[in-house]
Amino acid sequence: MPLVSGLVPSRFLVLTAHLVIVITIFWSRENNVRASLPLQCTPEEYARRDTEMVVALSVTLGLFVVELTGFLSGVSMFNNVQSLLSLAAHCSASVCLSFFVFERWETVTYWYILGFCSALPAAVEIFLFVSVFGLKKKPL
């Protein structure tokens, strides 16, 4: 049981760290939006890029709700495979998003980070949630 007892708090801390970084990006997204645009841009171009960034961050927050619901409800809390996947994905996302903020990466890069580091663990979480509550099976 030492593996499980170490994975649960680690997973929670990494999820929380990723969530804090996403909220920080939400507050300071102007630098990243400006990095995606040419030096001379119209207000419409800025508004379109800003809207794209808000949508991406909102999708990320929605995926956090899904994953935290599954984790805190106990569906995947003690599932070693999901814990390791989530731990690796959210740790990678935390590091990548730190570079995203400090290096002022373009907003297009955020979509890749979202797909690999947030959508993948959330999809597995949804699968586990459906298999436990929909099919009335025990978690793996």
Going by C-alpha positions, the residue among 84, 96, 101, 83 that lies closest to residue 33 is 101
Whether 121 and 75 have beta carbons less than 8 Å apart is answered as: no
Judged on CB neighbours under 10 Å (0-12, 13-18, 19+), 12 is middle
Most confident of 11-15, 39-43, 74-78, 129-133: 11-15
The amino acid at 37: L
User: Which DSSP symbol is given to 137?
Assistant: -
pTM of the model: 0.88
Whether 31 and 110 have beta carbons less than 8 Å apart is answered as: no
> Tell me: the pLDDT tens digits for 48-97?
999 999 999 999 999 999 999 999 988 888 888 999 999 999 999 999 99
